[in-house]
Each structure stands twice: as structure tokens, then as C-alpha cells.
Structure 1
Amino acid sequence: MAAAVWNRHPKYAILVVVAILTTVYLLVPYSGPVNTARYDIVTRGADLVSRIQQSHDIYDRLLKNRKGLIKKFGPNPADIALFPPDVAPWPPYTVWDFFPAAFNCPHEIERHGALGDGGKWVCGLSRVQDKPDCIVYSFGINLESSFEAEILKYTKHCQIWGYDFSVKSFGPEIPSNQLHRTHFHAYGLGGEDKHGPNDSPPMYTLETLMRENGHTHIDLLKIDIEGWEFDTLTTLIKPYATSGLPLPFGQLQLEIHIWDKTFAQYLTWWETLEAAGLRPFWTEPNLVYQNYNKKKGTADLAEYSFLNVKGSNVFISDKHYGKESGHPHQPPARD
């Protein structure tokens, strides 16, 4: 009976065969090369401009609120404790409450790397997933490279330069087939160059390393240098603040170690970052450190992620998005 139907209506038989083959094709798992791209929707154009402007408006309100909070608990910065003591009147704040991550990232936000210590929050990795000249610098490896491994996994062309004088290589998280996209040196990041034959460990400024590597712009800059971030970033920012040029990186992932600082010192340093165009879009306390710092009892470490809102980097502008050209922000000469 069925054979007779096929004989009388061969075109139906062909349609059935095509339908079966199509179904099998769709249901069988694809075993070809894995596409690392994971971001199908990318913010751009007028929508990007309007989102950034809205974020500026929100952050401006935050700046006014900070002044009000300082006046309330100060009234001068020198009068404010980083962490108020457990005595009356128990003022309800810590230093971190004055510096919330109030700038909204205009793209997707995702944590890359391990949960717990090691991962970092990134704004808009989609903007560099196909960027041919994507550059990443990572200072402070400590044999834990889950962050760097994920950046390599979810981008096609990003090259990563890693620096840490306490170890000899990236951590084991980076697969062997991606090592050709990494470059490691046992150097430290500092506020001045000290890498002569008698200097141990060798210390380099960011400007010197960029010049030696032939770079004028960094897309993602990760810094975890155990308290040296204050002098290092102050020195780095100074010539750019003087010249008015944008900082030579699009985004900064930074662990802040507030040891031995006063509120007034920290406020001055933080306002230097803001004046240079850095806006925090994410923060979290380092609770791993806090768990092992119970005797002191203060939350001295915090992770911050900043967006550079000056210039035309790929996270805030379409000027370079999808193009192979680099960014023309040559670091200015130091005084």
C-alpha cells in the first residue's frame, strides 16, 4: 500500500526525504570548530551615545551626594575615619560608601575568571571580541590566570602581556593552544623605572612597557599590585592630566588595598582618577581577604572596574569599532 502511494506520487516521497534529512541535520550536535564569539547584540550608534550621557548625569548626582556625605560626617575629609570605631554614635558608613560604582556601563557586564578571588568584571567584552588589534595588559599574576584565560577564550585576536616579578609564568588556566597569544615578563609595575643591573625586582612604568612593546593603546588594563597602585597610578596620570590627553587605556580592572591610608589621602587620589576620566562601573569587597583578616576587622581590599570616558576608545565610541587601526593616543612626555 505504502509503496503504491510513493509510486503514484513521487514528488511527495522527495519532500518526505528532504524533511527527514533536515530534521536529522538540526538534531545532530555540530562537531565542527567552536565559535568563541558569544555576543550577538552589541550597543552602538545613537543608543551608545545616549546611554553614556545618561551615565554621566547619574554620576554627576553621585558627586553631589558624596560632598553631602562628607559634610555630614566630617565636615572636612580629615575628620572622617576610613572605618569608624565600634563606639557611640556609630556613624553608619565605611570608606567604600563614599565611592560607589555609580557609572552605568553602556554594554553587557560580565565577570570573567574564577568565582572568588581571581575573576574581574568587564564592561562590553563584546566590543573587542573581533577587534584585530585588541591589547590586554595584566599586572599581578600570582599563578592564577583564569581571567586571562577567559579573555583569550571569548575573543579572537586579543594578545595579553602579563607582568609579575613573584612568579615565572602565567597560571595553568591558559591552555597550551593559546600560549602564542600571551607574553610574560617577571617585571613589576611602578611609578618610576628601576630596572638596572642592580635593581631587583626590575620595575617599569606603564609608559616604558608600552613603548618597548610598540603600543599606544591598551583595551583592558588589569592591576593588582598589593598597594603600589596609589603611587603608580598617580605617576601615570600626571602627564595626561597636564596635557589634557585621554589615558592610554579603555578600561581598568583594579584591586585597591587601602592599608595605612587616611580618608583625606584616599579621597585626593580617587578624585585624581575621576579627573583623568575614570568612572567606576562595578565594585565588590574582597571577602576572601576579609575572611582571613578577622583580627583587624576592617575591609581593606576592594575590587573596582573603571571605564575611561575620555577620548574615543572602543568602549565609548564607534570611531574605532570594527576597524583595524589602533588608537592615536601617544603617551605625552613626562616633565
Structure 2
Amino acid sequence: MAEVDSELVVETTHLTKIYQNRQIALNDVSLTIEPGSVLGLLGPNGAGKTTFLRLVLGLHRPTAGGVRVFGTPMTPNSAMLRRRIGYIPTNPQFPKGMTPITYLDYVARLYGLSRDTRKPRLANLIRAVDLLGESGNSISQFSIGMTARLAVAASLLNEPDLLIWDEPTHGLDIEARRSMLELIKKLASEKTLILCSHNLSDVDEVCNHAAVLAQGKLIFQGTLTELKGRIRKNHYELDLEGDQKSISKAVGQLKAIKDIQQVTLRQRRLDLKLSEDILNSQLLASVFNILNENKIVLVSIRSVGQQTEQAYLDLVEKEESRGFTRLYSPQAEAA
């Protein structure tokens, strides 16, 4: 068992945090994160996400349970363990009187990096986050996007094995957000990441695992595919290209297939609802054959109701409903 545990990047066991003996911020959370995972940490405001991150970082002591990082217990005194973690808080703040070069050099010296090590690494990171042209300018003049890129550079200075980034795309414009997501994809090939985000389309794009917190409890942990698989599967939207007459003919043929429950055409977008108990690949093959016979080009196909946002909302709504039932159920009171 110990050998398996040592392979985990993060392992929490019955992790609980109660503030001032009255606010239960985290309640009995047992979670594991394997090497190479890009975990999306999800949950409504007040769900316990920030508390969870602080406990993993050893910034707070748990009320009960524990955290192991790289197989070693994490505590407020685990400075050497934290050196293997790169952290970005929400809305990172930097000393306004410093430049990217002076700030990163200062952080590198805090890590104990020698001059020969920190100077080339600092230069490489400034170039990697596209701040070379701003490297001598005051941080006080930085935009939100530039500040976010500086935070990325600072979190990578010590070449950490685990990255914990809290809302890394918060407040970024479209171009800066796209740049951040591409960087996350690149880093995911060599590091383990925990991303806390309210932007579920970001999670959908870059994460391969998810953990969902609600009212301090862990209500889901698994792959992103498993999360999306919890809700309706056999509903699709197809964007088509072709002669309108041919498309109309194809729609008529699709309506004749008994296991296709609903066929709706809006302009050149086809909405299909299939029987839940049918093998969808077999039925979709028939759909594609009909499109091909009518010389219709399939531009795109999307599964409706399987995006991360929809799955997440469905999960939280069900948990809230169960919580209400537990609270007012006579059986629950008797138990």
C-alpha cells in the first residue's frame, strides 16, 4: 500500500477544516491526484475550494484528517515540500516598485538558487511568458494580462513538479486567455496541475480530471469524461453543408428510422435525439450513410448535454436537492 501512496502527487484523507468552531469549510474530503493529472477543482462560491488549496499547500492546519504531497505529510513547517509546488493565487499582487527582472531575481534568491542558476532561468522564463519587452518596466504599469504572465513565471522559477493555479484566466481578455490555456496544455505534458476555475469552458479544454466540492463536501472525483457521462448522452447537433433540397430529403429519411426519437432542422443545423437504450455508434453510422448518399457535408457534430458546465450544474443541483431532503426528512432525523 505504501508503494502505491508514494506514487500519488496529492492524497487527502478525511480532510476537515472548521474555522472558529462554527464554520465547516471542508468536511471529510478524501481525494487522490496521480502524476500527469490536470485536475479541475470545481464548486460554487463558499464550497471550500480555497480552503482545500491552502491545506494542500500547508498554509493552514487541518482540524481533522491529513494531506500527503509526493508521499510526505504536508504541514505548515514543510518548506522543503512547498519548494516542489508552484502556486498562483487569485488576483496575484506584486511589489509595485519592482520590475519583472528584480522581482523574479528576488524570488529566486528566496528559493536559494545560485546566481549562475537563477540568471539564465529568469531570462528564459521572461521570454517564455512574453514579457521580454517589459522586463525593465515597473510592475505598477502592468495590465491584468501582463500581471498574470508574471505570476506564471514566478510559479515556475523553482522548476516545480506540481502547479496549483487558482483562477489563472480570471480577468484576462480573449487573447491573453488563449495564451494562458495554450501554456497550460504545454505544461500538462510534463507536470501535474490543479486548476481552480469558475470558467468551465477552460476546464473542459485543458483538464482531464475533475473534483467537485459543494458545501465543503467532495461530491465527485473522476475523469472529465466520467463527469460528462453522468448526464444525457444520445442528443446531438450536426452542422451541415449542401443543397437544401438534399438536406430536406435526408431529414425525411432520418425521421423514418425508429430509434431516432426526434429530428429537427433549423436552417442547416440538424438536432437529433436518439433512443437512450440504443448503441449510439451504430445509429450514427446510419445517419452518416444517409448524409453521404445525399451528398451532404458534415461540418461539425456536437454532443448536447455533455459539456462540463452542464454536467457540473446537474451534479451540484442534485446534491443541493439531496441536502434539502436530508435536512427536512423525518427518516434523516431519526437516523
Q: TM-score range by the shorter chain?
A: under 0.3
TM-score norm. by structure 2 comes to: 0.26
TM-score norm. by structure 1 comes to: 0.26
Larger % of helix: which? 2
Larger % of strand: which? 2
